[in-house]
């Protein structure tokens, strides 16, 4: 087996150009399709300064609904994919994924707590704090979960897949119970907010959520790419990375906290969307190899692409109703996860 196992190596420029083109066409398609079809030409026009020449209702659909949703899809997809890629590196195991090891569940519990608690306090706190509280609590929940799973499952010999997955099961169950209880004590408005977390949805796209996730994605990309070489060394094992001069403790803490931030932001905006962080890094490695300096940007592009496609499918599959996008990613991802688990049987 040689390089043939990787898809023909494209140069970085070729790949970037190709995937940006693909992303652009997918974005356009995502604006075209929906309960109300907008002609392709109008969709293009909607993105240019001549948008004002379009009929009012088309302008509104493009600018208030479909464009924000498409952008949000791309950002959330990219965040989930790079977080997944980094987590797999950190755990030195290709099965690590925010959804599977319980990080999303921990974040969701944090977010649900924030919604219920702050809804009861909302008369006392200013609105912007209310807005920031949900992502913040999601981050804390995600970070605590990641730290717990990491220190339970990882030893100097690598990560115990069994411990990692079972810890994920336990944390997801705990989080499910917590969210269930919050559902029980919540009023109608809170229930509407909470229901989002069960399956994940991008329907709540707003420009403020786009800005929040764009900022998160930029921070993740900058730090992850700067730490990519050290993360590569960490794949050899902690001791080996230490001998190569990597401050492993600091590296791990930085990456764990940033992954939790990424997942926290996505969960607080779009709920639990699973498996993007699992599938994409695997696809990415087929294209770029496992070197994180290339894998992270490649994963970002592929993640944006996949979640946009999945969301498009979710919107049109059962028109005029809409599937939660988490169902679509789970249909794609769960069989893939089983396949990976099957491959790892011998190593458990």
Q: Per CB under 8 A, does 240 bind other proteins?
A: yes
Q: Degrees (nearest 5) of the Cα angle 265, 271, 273?
A: 100
Closest distance to other proteins from the beta carbon of 163 (Å): 15
Query: What is the SS3 assignment for 224?
Result: helix
- How do the residues of the chain divide into helix, strand and coil, expressed in percent and rounded to 5? 80, 0, 20
Handedness of CA 263, 264, 269, 271 (dihedral sign): positive
One residue of 246, 261, 298, 314 binding other proteins per CB under 8 A: 246
Closest distance to other proteins from the beta carbon of 246 (Å): 7
What stretch of H or E contains 155? strand 154-155
One residue of 257, 289, 316, 334 binding other proteins per CB under 8 A: 289
317 Cβ partners below 8 Å, 6+ apart?
A: 323, 328
Tokens in use for 310? 């999945």
Beta bridge partners of 155: 158
Interacting positions 79-98 with other proteins (CB under 8 A): 92-94
Size of the site for other proteins (CB under 8 A): 29
What stretch of H or E contains 158? strand 158-159
Q: Per CB under 8 A, does 235 bind other proteins?
A: yes
Q: How far apart are CA 119 and CA 192, in angstroms?
A: 13
One residue of 160, 172, 209, 230 binding other proteins per CB under 8 A: 230
Q: How far apart are CA 113 and CA 174, in angstroms?
A: 13
Q: How far apart are CA 291 and CA 317, in angstroms?
A: 37
Taking CB under 8 A as the binding criterion, the range among 32-40, 127-135, 245-253, 298-306 that sits at the site for other proteins is 245-253
Q: Per CB under 8 A, does 126 bind other proteins?
A: no
One residue of 245, 318, 320, 342 binding other proteins per CB under 8 A: 245
Q: Per CB under 8 A, does 348 bind other proteins?
A: no
Interacting positions 104-123 with other proteins (CB under 8 A): none
Closest distance to other proteins from the beta carbon of 159 (Å): 9
Q: Per CB under 8 A, does 204 bind other proteins?
A: no
Q: Which is nearer to other proteins, 163 or 244 (CB)?
A: 244
Q: How far apart are CA 329 and CA 314, in angstroms?
A: 10
Q: Per CB under 8 A, does 237 bind other proteins?
A: yes
Tokens in use for 188? 């109608």
Q: Per CB under 8 A, does 163 bind other proteins?
A: no
Q: Per CB under 8 A, does 242 bind other proteins?
A: yes
Q: How far apart are CA 162 and CA 280, in angstroms?
A: 22
Instruction: List residues binding other proteins (CB under 8 A).
Output: 1-3, 5-6, 92-94, 157-158, 229-230, 232-233, 235-237, 239-240, 242-247, 285, 289-291
């Amino acid at each position: 087996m040689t390089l043939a196992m990787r898809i023909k190596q494209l140069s970085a420029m070729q790949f970037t150009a190709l995937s940006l083109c693909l992303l652009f066409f997918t974005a356009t398609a995502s604006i075209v399709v929906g309960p109300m079809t907008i002609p392709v030409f109008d969709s293009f026009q909607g993105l240019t300064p001549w948008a004002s020449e379009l009929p009012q209702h088309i302008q509104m659909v493009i600018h208030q609904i479909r464009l924000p949703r498409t952008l949000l899809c791309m950002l959330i997809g990219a965040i989930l994919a790079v977080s997944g890629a980094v987590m797999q590196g950190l755990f030195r195991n290709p099965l690590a994924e925010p959804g599977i090891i319980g990080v999303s569940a921990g974040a969701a519990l944090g977010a649900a707590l924030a919604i219920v608690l702050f809804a009861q306090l909302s008369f006392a706190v200013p609105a912007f704090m209310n807005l920031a509280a949900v992502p913040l609590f999601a981050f804390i929940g995600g970070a605590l979960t990641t730290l717990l799973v990491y220190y339970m499952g990882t030893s100097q010999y690598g990560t115990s897949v069994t411990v990692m997955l079972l810890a994920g099961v336990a944390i997801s169950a705990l989080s499910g119970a917590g969210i269930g209880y919050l559902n029980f004590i919540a009023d109608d408005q809170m229930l509407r907010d909470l229901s989002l977390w069960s399956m994940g949805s991008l329907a709540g796209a707003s420009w403020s959520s786009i800005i929040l996730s764009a900022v998160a994605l930029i921070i993740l990309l900058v730090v992850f790419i700067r730490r990519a070489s050290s993360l590569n060394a960490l794949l050899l094992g902690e001791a080996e990375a230490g001998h190569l001069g990597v401050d492993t403790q600091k590296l791990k803490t930085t990456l764990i906290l940033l992954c939790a931030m990424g997942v926290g932001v996505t969960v607080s905006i779009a709920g639990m969307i699973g498996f993007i962080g699992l599938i994409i890094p695997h696809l990415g490695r087929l294209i770029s190899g496992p070197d994180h300096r290339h894998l992270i940007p490649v994963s970002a592009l592929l993640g944006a692409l996949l979640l946009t496609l999945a969301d498009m499918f979710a919107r049109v599959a059962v028109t005029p109703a809409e599937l939660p996008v988490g169902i679509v990613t789970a249909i794609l991802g769960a069989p893939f996860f089983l396949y990976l688990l099957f491959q790892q049987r011998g190593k458990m």
